[in-house]
Structure 1
Amino acid sequence: MPLEDNQGAGPAMVILKRSLDPGSNAATVQFGTVRKLRSTYTNFWQASQMSQSTTVFSLENGKSWFVNSCPANSFWFNRFIQGMHERSGDQPNVNEAISCELMSEIMTRLNKRVLNNPRDSRSIEFACYLLFSFLAALRGNETMMISLGSILELMVKEKRLKNENYIVLPLIGKFKQVTSVTVYLLFISKDTKSDFGCDVGIWLDRLLKVRKDEGREKGWLFCKKDGDRRGEPLEMSHFEGDLHEILLEIQKTSSLIPKDLVVEERYSVFRLARRGATTEARNRGVPELQRK
């Protein structure tokens, strides 16, 4: 028997044990979930004294190559992971895209709620979150990076924006494939061919009024209002319940959503709006470069 594990048998056993845990969309967790333990083990190993023997090759372009003896990178472990993936397979649960027709129905119903109760701040917040995500083709977490302070600052400096046929959404943060904090200005037309209950500018004005009533002029447009993490951007799951609630309502009263479709499993705020927006753009023949 070997006196040490230099091939990765230890992490392999942990991964196998984890693969027996109950899953959300299947009887057990999927390979895509359990394989993350390999990264956890590797990061732990590299941060420990065991990585002192690591050899580094520095290249002229500023990049580096690392050669180490981490068991999770061994030939045996790579074959183990490959074999496990081939035997377990994948069972993806792809989220449904939201169509323009469904989006229009959602916004029309939310608009009726707000007209009946102008102080319904939750419906206003949810409507703006969903509408901005859809029209700007944003991922769920990216919409939470819209800056309230920057919107108000732009309105003060550029008073003519009030009369323009578009709104400006400033996004600040670290985005996918970008390593540093970046500022994006997204221009969204107020007037769209789809009926969203009312134009986009009115929805934004409603939300800004809610924030003014809360006494907020800085920070994020969507943020936590209490607790130790007050002021931080909301998690994208914040509106998950609101989404499912209104979709279930639509499913019961219209034919836009099939009756046998499980709303909670097939719709999620994370990619629903972006996937719907890109699909709509593709169907309308918008060039790929303009959709990025």
Structure 2
Amino acid sequence: MAELIKKAANIEPVFVEEKLLPPWKEAWISFYKNRLALAGLGIVGFFIMIAILAPIIAPYSFKEQVLTDRMLPPSSDHWFGTDDFGRDIFSRIVYGARISLWVGFFSVLGSVVFGTILGIVAGYYGRWIDSLISRIFDIMLAFPSILLAIAVVAILGPSLQNALIAIAVINIPNFGRLVRSKVLSVKQEEYIMAARAVGMKDTRILFRHILPNSISPVIVQATLAIATSIIEAAALGFLGMGAQAPTPEWGKMLADSKNYITQAPWTLFFPGIAIMLTVLGFNLMGDGLRDVLDPKMKN
């Protein structure tokens, strides 16, 4: 017994070193565990592939008119049927994916860039600059978003590019206020005060320390805003203030087919399903990113 105690006393403790994963890999593992988020990523990836491969996938040109084939129901020749000009709806939806994703991505990119810059400036410098920028945001948010977008397009003129600009403008306050609130909390951290104390320039503090620590909620909001932008682009197209004929924009396709809802319901059904699935994909993916990047959502 004494020998066993002596041997046990001579045993050195073994420490198991825990391997730390890179932040991006840990975030991907958390995202991968969310099945709904993966489904959203799959839907978004599917439409992106359709947009990239549109010339290969589409059996017809999106603007090819065959008047003898007007209002044909779905068949082996025309999977989604044809519209009132005899154009293949499947081909137009495939090419329409390019337009909707292009508007969604680039309008949100513009909103993120300008909203982030204004939010950082307002939150970091404060005082009259903060008051001025915040009041501009408040005025813009006082109007319904679609009404403000219509006003911008009415000034610039109806076109797809002007619709993109209008959607970018109306979303700037959302990102600006989000970044401003984050900057107000980050700039009170001790490492920011230390950077100021050693004489570091404001531009370096803003873009090297404050911006990287404020970007997570912006990524989540941007993903969700893409879905909103696609809906807003479709709404402007439906009202005739977005894409113009013969551009195969999904909202414009709905507007062109609204008079044939009883005669040819497939002309509205398939563009509507495309809009719904795309928006659903971005919303599911955005919810998954929020769960991963928001510390409050982590268990």
* Short-chain TM bin: under 0.3
TM-score, with structure 1 as normaliser: 0.25
Higher strand residue share: 1
Q: Which has the higher contact order (CA 8 A, sep 6+)?
A: 2
Higher helix residue share: 2
